[in-house]
Amino acid sequence: MLEYIRAETATTRGELAELTGLSRSNIAERVGELAALGLVVEAGTARSTGGRAPVRLRFNHLAGCVAAVDMGTTGVRTAITDLHGRTLVDDLFECRVSAGPQASLAAIEKSLESLLESSAVAGIPLTGIGLGFPGPVQFASGHPTSPASAPSWDGYPIREQLARRFEVDAWVDNEANMLALGELRLGAARRASDVVVVKFGTGIGAGLVSGGQLQRGHLGGAGDIAHVSVPGATSARCSCGRASCLTTVASGAALGRTAVLLAESGASPTLRELVTAGRTPTVDDLAQAAAGGDLACIRAIEASASHLGHVLAMLVNVLNPELVLLAGRVMESADLVLPVVRRTIYAESTPLTTRALRIERSAPDGHFGISGAALTVVDKLLEPERLGAWPAARSQTLEAINH
């Protein structure tokens, strides 16, 4: 019932009775329980179809708040959201995952502490924490597992540390999974059921949606395309120990290395000027030079897009999605990336899998990784077996004991 109300599939007691087959008295009793927890409120009346107008029911998105963390390879966004996954207050700061878990989590905890003191969340109880990590995560434990680019995080108890620090439950997942869930609920994938969401940033990852549900795989490793080998591509050896991994030839980090090479060789006059001025070019400099017409930089971005498109074509052939959605830092060059990715996928995928396929860019300022991190928490907290642990339920239990 709560899920029907939360999704606005049913907004009156009568509609709940029709959907569930329960009696009106049973519906009234259960709605009363949800109202006592603060999760459902009455919100005016719906249109009458004869007789008294039915009372409209609404999910109370401010019955609690969630601390959400979207970790990237080089930066972190933190936020406090409502129970719809919408941001109430947020923070963005530089933080390199390579700094290790102690330093990174200390910065994240400090940021969340500051956000929780904001007037925007005053009086709203913190109910849980969700964190998206830029690497493989075993979802059941919340522990990073053999992250090639950040070995010091392997097996680190992120979930336990955050839960202990803030005295609420915490969940950790791969950042691309969090992004995919946010897009599915609040973004461009809202009306889609089979989707591949790609994080094309400093690193590369994918979140997979099938039948309207996020697919993590058996242990949580689904969608880890960073270390798929790209035939014919040459690169430095990957941190995983192999060569020609997608992340080494197509990611933002790879483009950053290319920027330096183009500057040092003089192939890019624009980037060469930066070196002459004493500055090391970055992926952002490369993107800006490409936007200004620098041919070498344009070709570098297009080559990365082609490599990504090749790997995504394999996914399209295997999964037959209706939507491929691209997000992340490199998508600031979407005018160069999208045409190449589309062309490569259409050329290398079967006619049936591309017949109704859409390949689009995510909304640049959507912050759907934050939404997905928050909604991961809310989905877990609102599972039937966990409703008794909701803050209002705990306080009611304590009150009964004290009396």
CA 259, CA 277: separation in Å to the nearest integer? Answer: 15
Give the pLDDT score at 51.
65
Give the pLDDT score at 49.
67
pLDDT for 238-294, tens place per residue?
888 888 899 999 999 999 999 999 999 999 999 999 999 999 999 999 999 999 999
Q: Which residues of the chain have pLDDT under 70?
A: 48-51, 234-235, 392-403
Give the pLDDT score at 242.
83
Q: What angle do CA 175, 176, 180 make, to 5 degrees?
A: 120
Rg for the chain, CA atoms, rounded: 24
Compute the residue count for the chain. Answer: 403
The dihedral through the CA atoms of 21, 27, 29, 33 has a sign that is: positive
Nearest to 378 by CA among 192, 161, 179, 129: 129
Instruction: Write down the pTM of the prediction.
Output: 0.93
8 Å CB contact between 78 and 115: yes
Return the amino acid letter for 302: E
